[in-house]
Every structure is written in structure tokens, then in C-alpha cells.
Amino acid sequence: MAVAMTMTMMVLAVAVVLLAVVGLGGQEAHAFNNASIAFVRYFKVGGTTMSGLMLGMKRTYNKQIVIPTTSIAREPFYSVYHYSACNIFMRVNRFGPKHPWLRISLVREPQAAVLSAFYHFCLTRSNCRGVESQFPKDVDRSSDEFKLAYLAAHRTSAAEYLAPCGLRVNASDGSASQAHAIVATYHLVAVNERYLESLLVFRHLFDLTFHDILHFPAKKFKQGEKDDYGLPAPARPETESEAVVGFLEKLANTTLAADTALHRAAVARLDEHIDTLGQKKIADEKAFFEKALACAREQCADQQHSDCMEVDQMCGYTCLHSVNFERDCNLTVPSPA
């Protein structure tokens, strides 16, 4: 049973990574998007690749999967995922149940998400949703004509994907009421463009340490670097043509209307979380975490390190968790109060 569950988790993890989207060329970007609706990391345990915390995956079955991860003290805590039709709930256990089930997900600005999908999937992986059949074989896929055809074929709705069972979603409905109805079913809808703030709220929801979340933003890819599958991060122009920008704005009011409203609702909900925790508290934690993250990257930058993850840009969890913020980084960890 344990082996079967592990294999199932590996398959799900691969599915999530295949949905991941890398952002603007020349800029660092997290390897996820509003389609994957997940925080994803990989690490090696006894030679077996397992996923890190996976949040927001919909599955049509009931199952609990326990995934051992590692805390700074090398004592295991467990991320438990309960899958059911239209829902996923997560609980983090330390030495027994500690929290109730929480429903977590993530959204990304819709126009940026669909455009990134074009560069990441179509140009890099030749997964162009069948659009290539409309053009000659020697077509320049980076041309505006091809890009516009790809964008026009977009049919994925994050709002439909996040909606709970029983809530019918109109992908062209940009009303705040529909968006807030979806967001209200989650304990947290993280926002890609405000990732660190979302991650800090996530930390408080599960009473985690800064080391426990250090690995989440550790893996970033720049243009020309390779991702987990050895494929280069896609090259992107600094600016898009007026035709592409105009078409994306049109999508924001039509097929992306519900997703646009959902993103606004998620941002508003994130602000509410931050207000509850204290704006100064989160601002101080963000300033600390940015410095701690930079220090950890420097400490763990050697790709030949024995703890490095396979085909990755960063060293493994042992290295990240061994960084002492006070001693190695000359930083004072913010008080939990």
C-alpha cells in the first residue's frame, strides 16, 4: 500500500510539473502557474524522488497520502493531503495531528499566465494545442500571427478549476460576487505576483519555521538556464507587440474575465490575511526572509554539493536547512510575537 501511494504521488508530482510555467525572459520566475495551482518542490529521499508540499490539486477520488519531509532538526514532519472530488485539503503534522484540514490554492495574473504558457509549452515543448495544424510546417511559431492563434485557442479557466463542487462557473463572468464565492471556500489563495507574502501567510497558517519554507522559492530559472527536464527556459521579448497586448486585454474581458476577477479577489483576501497578522509584522518578516533566502542561496550555490538535487539549480534540503541565520548570515530571526 505504501509503495502504491508513493508511486501515485510521484505521478501526481510529474503532472504538476508538466503544468508549470516559467515567467518573463531575463527575469527570475517561479516554476508554477495558475493552471498547476500548486507549490512544488522535489527532493531525494532514499534515492526516490518525491514531491514537496503540493497544494490545490483537484482529484476525483478520496485518498490520504502522507509525505515525509525534513525540518531543520532533521526530525520529520508530515504533509498530509486529503483528496476528494473537487477539493484538496492539507494538514501539517509534527509528532501527531497539529492542525485541522486547510484548503489551499494559488492564482496567477491571467494574461501573464496564458502568455507564459505560449512560451513555455508551445515554443519550448512544441505543445501548441493543435494550433500548428492551421499553419504551414515551416511557420515561425514566434510570429505574432501564430501567437495570436494560440491565445485565441485558450480555453483553460482557473476559476472553473478552483471552484468547489456544486458551484457552476461562467468563465466569461467577471463579477466580483462569483470570484469571492470561490475564494471564500479556501483558507488561503496564494498570489503568484506576491509570492513571498503569500508564503509568509502560509507559514503562519501551519505554524512553520522560516527554514520549513526556505526551499519553496529557492528554485528559479533565468532565460537560457535549464529546468528540471533539461529544457532551456524560453526566450521572451522585453515587450509584446500592440496586437498581442490588445488581444490579451480583450481576453481579460471575455474568456479570462472570471480569472481576472478571481485574481483580484485573491489579492484582496491576501491583504485581509496580512491585516489580521499585522502589516508591520509581515513587512519585517519579508525583509528578513529576502535576506535569509539570498544568504541560503549563496551558502548552497555549489551545484557539485553532495546534497544537490538531480538536474536542478539549487542544492538539496540538507544544505538549505543547515544554514544558521544568526551565525552564517548575521541575521536576527523575527520574534514570533
Q: For residues 162 and 56, is the Cβ–Cβ distance under 8 A?
A: yes
Domain residue limits, the chain: 2-41+109-329
Q: Is the pLDDT of residue 183 over 90?
A: yes
- Please state which of the ranges 181-185, 222-226, 267-271 shows the lowest mean pLDDT: 222-226
Largest CA distance in the chain: 63
For residue range 63-87, list pLDDT tens digits in order.
333 333 333 333 333 344 444 445 5
- Please state which of the ranges 21-25, 99-103, 148-152, 168-172 shows the lowest mean pLDDT: 21-25
Confidence of residue 291 (pLDDT cuts 50, 70, 90): very high
Mean pLDDT of the chain: 69
Residue 324's φ and ψ, nearest 5 degrees, are -100, 110
Return the DSSP state at 286: H
Residue with cell 482529484: 59
Report the distance separating Cα 1 and Cα 84, nearest Å: 19
Comparing 88 with 197, the larger pLDDT belongs to: 197
- Residue 33: its pLDDT value, please? 27
Report the distance separating Cα 72 and Cα 4, nearest Å: 28
Residue with cell 485539503: 89
Residue 252's φ and ψ, nearest 5 degrees, are -60, -25
Q: For residues 35 and 158, is the Cβ–Cβ distance under 8 A?
A: yes
Average pLDDT (237-262) is 94
Q: Is the pLDDT of residue 284 over 90?
A: yes
The answer for residues whose C-beta is within 8 angstroms of residue 269's C-beta and 6 or more apart is 183, 186, 188, 189
Q: Is the pTM of this model over 0.85?
A: no
For residue range 129-164, list pLDDT tens digits in order.
889 899 998 999 999 999 999 999 988 888 888 887
Report the distance separating Cα 275 and Cα 181, nearest Å: 21
Q: Is the pLDDT of residue 266 over 90?
A: yes
Residue with cell 497539529: 98
- Residue 136: its pLDDT value, please? 92
Report the distance separating Cα 50 and Cα 38, nearest Å: 15
For residue range 105-116, list pLDDT tens digits in order.
788 899 998 998
